[in-house]
Amino acid sequence: SRHQQTYGQRALRQANPTAKLLLETIERKKSNLAVSVDVTKSKDFLSIIEVVGPFVCLIKTHIDIIEDFEPSLIEQLQDLSKKHDFVIFEDRKFADIGNTVSLQYSGGVYKIASWSHITNAHPVPGPSVIQGLSSVGLPLGRGLLLLAEMSTKGTLARDSYTEDAVRMARSHRNFVIGFIAQRRMGGIGLVDEGADSVADEDFLILTPGVGLDVAGDAMGQQYRSPRQVIFDSGCDVIIVGRGIYGNDLSLVDVIAARAERYMAEGWAAYMERVGS
Ligand code: 5IU
């Protein structure tokens, strides 16, 4: 089954260039770790990425929380992406009508489509959110993740909402490369409608809500371990934020050691899954 295929084998079968790039990067670096850098100062943002860069396949950003944002920050992020060989994912969570999201994605202060390989959208508006983003991102070779589930207590993204997200993705396979979710979906599995084309599909599952030392935070976040996410639930990428950069952003050695630990646990869980 898809669970047992290696990242490298799966890279060969991806039509979307960003899906291929991410799988190839994971295979090359032997890392299924993504770090989410939710900090408010450019200096901290860049220094964390410099430290964790060698250990990650992907850096996830919330560019709109940076207080001292300047366009040169994007150039520095792109330089780090080349230096350390990681993919960039702006976690923008688009959720408006097609026309509006196309403008939010291409324009404004951040011009996300010009630098972020991957972005994501809530399926709540229906297929028009994908059409709007695809009109900008597809010609640039970008990829979109749909938010099929969330890690938070009481999330409304469940049951038939999640199944409908899979159906929406299935109708836009050229641009939708996978899901933000808590378990494998698409292909054989959730919303398995039996068609040959469904058996053949291969969505990427990127999973936030990963932490080894605490169960959650005071605002509804819930954490699971890399092994629960990659081995038990069949997901592809663990996304870790505070579990790696912690509270003291100056402790670069500690941050590097934590990144290495999550990388090792994520990779061991994958090796166990593919049976090697
Ligand atoms: N994030 C989640 N859960 C979700 C979705 C996104 O935590 O279901 I969708 C984001 C929020 C934050 C990062 O940017 O992933 C997790 O950060 P911590 O590892 O610090 O909790």
pTM of the model: 0.96
**How much distance in Å is there from the Cα of 164 to the middle of ligand 1?**
22
pLDDT of residue 276: 77
Helix/strand/coil for 216: strand
Q: What is the pLDDT of residues 42-76, one digit of tens each?
A: 999 999 999 999 999 999 999 999 999 999 999 99
Q: Which residues line ligand 1 (CB under 6 A)?
A: 36, 38, 62, 91, 147, 150-152, 180, 208-209, 221, 239-243
Q: Is the dihedral of CA 29, 139, 114, 66 positive or negative?
A: negative
Residue 193 — very low, low, confident or very high, per pLDDT cuts 50/70/90? low
pLDDT of residue 250: 82
- Which residue's CA lies nearest to atom 1 of ligand 1? 208
- Would the annotation count 189 as a binding residue? no
Q: What is the pLDDT of residues 226-243, one digit of tens each?
A: 999 999 999 999 999 999
- Which residue's CA lies nearest to atom 6 of ligand 1? 208
Residue 194 — very low, low, confident or very high, per pLDDT cuts 50/70/90? low
pLDDT of residue 196: 56
Q: What is the pLDDT of residues 86-136, one digit of tens each?
A: 999 999 999 999 999 999 999 999 999 999 999 999 999 999 999 999 999
pLDDT of residue 169: 97
Single-letter amino acid, residue 213: D
Phi, psi of 85 (to 5 degrees): 65, 65
ipTM of the complex: 0.98
pLDDT of residue 107: 98
Helix/strand/coil for 255: helix
Distances (CA, A) of 241 to 120, 158, 196, 247: 17, 23, 38, 11
pLDDT of residue 247: 87
Residue 186 — very low, low, confident or very high, per pLDDT cuts 50/70/90? confident
pLDDT of residue 137: 98
Q: What is the mean pLDDT of residues 239-261?
A: 94
DSSP the chain: -GGGS-HHHHHHT--SHHHHHHHHHHHHHT--EEEEE--S-HHHHHHHHHHHGGG-SEEEE-GGG-TT--HHHHHHHHHHHHHHT-EEEEEEEE-S-HHHHHHHHHSTTT-GGGT-SEEEE-STT-THHHHHHHHHHGGGT-EEEEE---SSTT-S--THHHHHHHHHHHTTTTTEEEEE-SS--SSSSTT----HHHHH---EEEE--B-SS-SB-TTS-B-B-HHIIIIIS--SEEEESHHHH-S-TT-HHHHHHHHHHHHHHHHHHHHHHHT-
Q: Which residues are catalytic?
A: 91, 93, 96
- Would the annotation count 154 as a binding residue? no
**Any idea which residue has 């669970």 for tokens?**
3
Q: Distance (Å, rounded) from C-alpha 53 to C-alpha 35? A: 9
CB atoms inside a 10 Å sphere around CB 102: 21
Give me the count of residues in the chain: 276
Q: Which of 198-202, 223-227, 263-267 has the lowest mean pLDDT?
A: 198-202
Q: Which atom of ligand 1 is nearest to the CA of 150?
A: 8
- Would the annotation count 221 as a binding residue? yes
Q: Distance (Å, rounded) from C-alpha 260 to C-alpha 190? A: 32
Q: Which atom of ligand 1 is nearest to the CA of 155?
A: 8
- Would the annotation count 83 as a binding residue? no
**How much distance in Å is there from the Cα of 201 to the middle of ligand 1?**
26
Helix/strand/coil for 251: coil
Helix/strand/coil for 49: helix
Q: What is the pLDDT of residues 9-44, one digit of tens each?
A: 999 999 999 999 999 999 999 999 999 999 999 999
Measure CA 230 to chain center: 14
Q: Which atom of ligand 1 is nearest to the CA of 180?
A: 9
